[in-house]
Amino acid sequence: MIQHLKELWAYRDLVYNLVVRDLKVRYKNSLLGILWSWLNPLLMMLIFTFVFGYMWRNRTIDNPHILFLSALLPWNFFTGAVLGGIPSIVGNGHLVKKVYFPREALPISVVFSNLINFLISLPVLLLLSLISGVPLTGWLLFLPIPILIQVMFALGIVLFLSTLEVFYRDTHMMMDVGMQAWFFLTPIVYTFRDLPETLTLMGITFNPQVWLFRLNPMASIINTYQDILYNGTLTRLDFLSRTAVTAFIVLVVGYWFFLKFSRRFGEMV
For 22-56, give one letter per residue: b (16+ CB within 10 A) or e. bbeebeeeeeeeeebbeebbeebbeebbeebeeee
Per the structure, the complete domain to which residue 192 belongs is given by: 34-268
Residue 196 lies inside a defined structural domain of this protein? yes
pLDDT of residue 59: 57
Residues of the chain with pLDDT under 50: none
Residue 20 lies inside a defined structural domain of this protein? no
Closest-CA residue to 140 (of 126, 121, 154, 120): 126
- Domains in the chain, number: 1
Residue 7 lies inside a defined structural domain of this protein? no
pLDDT of residue 190: 76
pLDDT tens for 152-191 read 999 999 999 999 999 998 898 899 999 999 998 888 877 7
pLDDT tens for 205-218 read 878 777 777 889 99
pLDDT of residue 78: 96
Neighbours of 165 (CB within 10 A): 24
